[in-house]
Chains A and B, each alone.
Chain A
């Protein structure tokens, strides 16, 4: 195996590992967009909250991030439920600018309150296995990144299973297809919306927990992840878990290769170019079907 091939392989692996995390960030965003028709600009802030929760468990309780993941997810579930029920629900079904601005305001509030409480210091989580790495041939796979990406894909699969096989998932899909028809069928739409948003917040929180394993944590980290989620949804198509996962991998690969070949500081340029290209060439995304959520 030549050195060139090795580098390409290493980049591909890195890209897939990054893409797994992106997929975890994007599934919840896609769910909320597809079902509630809300582009939740506070999604990244929820990721940030999840990362901090994980950090505090690890820093003060010496608890492993993976072990605290369900707790973090549940906490964000409750937070998301309240947020939807009492704030966002008030503007459901109005013009996009209204929901867009509201979630932007929420993002600004959450981020800056976090800044006030936790300062702008960049933090990171260190686990017992933080230094470990698998070596397959010449390709090095850091344990934390492998664990992060693996857990992310598992989480996405669990979400897909919930959407496809539970009564709740069916109700969500029905509501996404036609809110009024769902209401007439006796589906409590407001509760479905709140639970959907809560579930998305839980996935965002857990994504934050996984991110804390191998990426820096700081209050303003959310904005970048919101943009990532948006690009991933456009790439993979709105409204499907599979689309979010594939879109996540695509963006992860594109950014990793671009950073290897062009330079390390071009991630936004790559993401934005991919976004524009996709919007112009194939607005529905690779797997998209508008206004619909599939498991």
Chain B
């Protein structure tokens, strides 16, 4: 059974087809890259899966159960975690407390606040943010905020992890560190969808890559195969529109 299945998912904003009849599958433990030029519909797809937006048509199936009326909180409790492209911390709370929120509100929540805080410390160590555990979140730098995003998502103990550009703006060394973290997460049986602009990160991390362009899926397959795909090359190099579709 697939962990996530998107069947012909479409999202219209007015007459703009942000996501256009996309089919997608993801198995537990699989780390899949989702790439595409700006405005390709990657973030919209993540919003649809995490429940912040409703698809105009098509269905999403998570672990065998169709996702219909559930809001984002219910989906989080079922094990769908995500990060935001623009990090969204709980600014007035400390870093440790930010992470503890996720531990307190997931499907099988931590039994008490102190336990959640202890668990938060473990997650912070895992993502390399222990030094900032007592900092108030709004004082963090952007790379640290991205780590915090990841920590919050991991504290949910997700079955599916949607990473929306967590590596943007990091140094190569930091990217390598995060690649190791995500690989580790996948090895524990979590399905991971990695949305990245940083191609190097995707190439290093994902054996399978999906490419979106103008809301449509134009490629889905093994890394080498996708990189050699002429449609993908055209989409990235900006060859005139008609030719790419």
- Do A and B touch (CB < 8 Å)? no
Q: Which residues of A pack against B, CB within 8 Å? A: none
